[in-house]
Amino acid sequence: MTRATARRRRTASALMALALAGGMSTAALTVAAPAHADSWRDKEYWLAESGITKAWDVSKGAGVKVAVIDSGVDGQHPDLAGVLAGGADISGAGSANGQESIGAKPEHGTLVATMLAGRGHQPADATAKPSAGSASGPAAGAAVGPDGIVGVAPEAQLLSVSTWLGSANPGGKSDQDQIPEAVRWAVDNGARVINISLGSTSPEWPQSWDAAFLYAEQKDVVIVAAAGNRVGGNVQVGAPATIPGVLTVAGLDRTGTASIDSSSQGISIGVAAPAEDLVGGMPAGGYADWAGTSGATPIVAGVAALIRSKWPDMSASQVINRIVTTAKDAGVPGKDPLYGFGVLNAEAALKADVPETKVNPLGSISEWIRVHRRGNLASTAPAAAPAPSSAVPTLPEATVPVAEKPSQLDSAVPAVVVLGFACLFVGIVVAAALQLRAAMRTPPKDGPDGPDGAEPGSVNSLDSSTPT
């Protein structure tokens, strides 16, 4: 793809995920002089408007690993020099180090990665010594160049976990298989933050995902996920952004209002961040304008990396709590399905005095499993995909209890009772009839007061009567 073509190309979110990789040496952020700042750097309005440049007074993400579960990250991009600390391919169709761009939207992973932890680069004609660092890792004192994309956490490192999503995978693995495996790999390889720019049209997720997200929660890893885009069919938030404990990111337009196209809505949204008029790096060194909550998500994940760098011992629940409680309220007062707790304020998230909490304000997957799965975890994915690809809101179908056929014992008891009463009734009728027949055949006897001893004027039989 040529650079000119890349500049014109706009992308939306796809089924992908991202994680930041840390452990890099602390490096001073080089502020570009106006004469050296190129047009792509100038377009990163969210750095100032979301309070990120002021948050850099406190932290730039050093020492934090963030895993990028996505379409693969091109580590050869000039803005990602020295950023990647490792990677893996989960799809079976990419390169072993996770840096090959694959899937239906192969550029997606590099776009996300540059927004999250890009370091820019020196101008081609610059006489200054280039920034230190290599593809294998950064050197001490590495600087951010004045041109290209600078990410929210430019001193963090990334782990590229490539997945094949959005079309048939030649490697044979489905997204249901790849996502939990990717999450586990990221956790096992030191990711402190996982960014998942993945969206589906269903709020439900395969039961086979439970264990992986529970594993991340137990290992104290922050997971940040995209709410999805209406223009892509996500009318409501879809999985995995609906999983309890995940920090779900909604999208804003250029005015700071909930985006009509580049966002969705749902009760699981935690915070909102810019999702329109975004820019990022493309594979092979190009750049592109793009939009979607796939781009809003690495902005928030980058802030999570800044926090974890500043306070390495802070729990994942407290990191999420710090982000959502310092967000600027928007929409209706309080938490709502468009903005969540509000609009991201990175400066406040790094500088405000936030009371400590041990509870994740967005819930817990372990508690959800206890209540809704009755503590059971599936080890394999179901055969059929649970998420229909429809733009219509997909809520779980209502179920109606089905009546069970009664057992033979249940049926036999009432039958015996009915039969017994029937026999008793017949017996009474027969006895009465016999008694009546016997009475009618008995001959009358003479008595002192009249026939058969009957009192005068009384009825002694059915065929006798007194005269009137």
Q: Is 364 a catalytic residue?
A: no
Which residue matches tokens 């990410």? Answer: 151
Catalytic residue among 13, 50, 59, 70: 70
Q: Which residues contact 61 (CB under 8 A, 6 or more apart)?
A: 20, 22, 117, 152, 153, 154, 155, 156, 302, 305, 306, 309
Backbone torsions φ then ψ of 261, nearest 5 degrees: -90, -45
**C-alpha distance across the termini of the chain, in Å:** 126
Please name which of 412, 414, 434 lies closest in space to residue 422, comparing C-alpha atoms: 414
Q: Are 266 and 362 in contact (CB under 8 A)?
A: no
Q: Is 70 a catalytic residue?
A: yes
Beta bridge partners of 225: 196, 248
Q: Are 243 and 369 in contact (CB under 8 A)?
A: no
DSSP notation for 99-135:
-S--SSSTTHHHHHHHHHH-EEE--TT--SPPPP-BT
Q: How far apart are CA 115 and CA 122, in angstroms?
A: 17
Catalytic residue among 50, 71, 101, 108: 108
Q: How far apart are CA 73 and CA 258, in angstroms?
A: 29
Please name which of 271, 259, 256 lies closest in space to residue 230, comparing C-alpha atoms: 259
Q: Is 188 a catalytic residue?
A: no
Dihedral angle at the C-alpha atoms of 192, 195, 201, 205, nearest 10 degrees?
-20
Task: Using the CB atoms, write b or e for 120-144: b if 16+ within 10 Å.
Answer: bbbbeeeeeeebebeeebbeeebbb
Catalytic residue among 294, 309, 317, 336: 294
Please name which of 245, 227, 382, 215 lies closest in space to residue 321, comparing C-alpha atoms: 245
23 torsion bin: left (phi>0), alpha (psi -120 to 50), beta (else): left
391: its two tokens: 């733009």
Q: Give catalytic residues, as residue numbers.
A: 70, 108, 294
